[in-house]
Structure 1
């Protein structure tokens, strides 16, 4: 049942995200086509889904969430385009289709990633003209600007790149996971809470929940890289091992990794219940994405 609901919501979110993409015409047509190619490659749209469901948890009902949903997915897609580049993970397939640099060339893939990051903020800024609480929109913009940056996703990516093939401490690994993966999940849920008018204490609680979700999500990704089905995942398995990356599974083993994923999942759901509100789907979504098989 949850799989069907997620798929249905993902279709609707696709329509929202794609409606904000720039038209592919004029002299910049190629980069716009490359942007659309990667955004339209599909995926579960978990980040905008988490954002919208958190928004609903706190009673949000307006359209102001939509440009932020599109923006977070654009930022996520830019990060995937750059992750797949030969200089980083050097992957030829993503979500079951050829990656951007394989189709458009390395230079255009870099530009498409740059363009999506910039266009994400251009898109989110549309919320300022939607007649909503301008202070809430500004606060949401601050989160959207900070979490993908040097003290968030990029910071995690830096350590991930520098430490590939080297001994990685538990603290370094957790820093990578908390930032490279967790930062966008935190941004998604925090923005949903902020735009719905949640107070500082509730936003802080959401931040903590999202941090647990992000950590568990990445550890589950490590487990799937070892035990998963490449056909379901849409990408090759054992890529971390081939690229010389140390993961939570490398350090702690499969059993301990699975135990910790369960612990994080249960804590996140418990804290969601303590917040209150009425969004059973959000709790089910958190459980599903942490324990997913693809």
Structure 2
């Protein structure tokens, strides 16, 4: 081997030796450090490690026991949860049933409230109508006394005849029927009884009844079927005079109780207007004057009606 190769080999071996020496020094330092740590640290105490291990095993056993208990409790809770779920399903069904019942009851309540409101409105309307009717003059509605030219009228029927306006006797008789009914109604309203005579309303065939036992004619007609006669119609005339007397009796009752006076004075067969007397008889009388007497008679009845209607019910 040449000198150069020998030198290179020696240099390489020196380098390896130095590296090995450095490595050995490092190992020694690490070993010294481990020995030092072992002498100062109880980590490597076997007895203490065994005690710690036994302690950990005890804790593990206890934890496993607790785990088993928790698993048992978990299964019980799952059972209770399933039971509560079944109960919840039943409660949901019951809740739905109760909700439907509540909805039905609410609808019925709404219907009842609607009916109640309707009944209340009907009651208000009925009371208003009752109040209106209580303030309504029934006599004025039933018996409308007015005039048509020189004729007095009652419910549209003319009571009288004129030479230039020959009212049919059917209309006159109907007017007398309404007049008799009005007088009878007024007397009944104030509980008044006529003496000697009694008007009997019978429509177009009304009459006056004589209450005296010795009366020659028990019934006198307040209607006529014949034409106008100069000598009149005796029974018809007598009936009209009696009717005027009955109206005069009612007038006395009204004046006695209320101090109310009718506008036309009446005496026997006469009725007065502005100082002039007009007979209710047709005998020896003109149609104009008889018609005037009938108009004054209806006017007195209208005033009597107004007084009776003003009384408290």
TM-score normalized with structure 2 length? 0.23
Higher relative contact order (CA 8 A, sep 6+): 1
Larger radius of gyration: 2
Q: Which has the larger share of strand?
A: 2
Of Structure 1 and Structure 2, the greater helix share is in: 1
Q: What is the TM-score normalised by the length of structure 1? A: 0.24
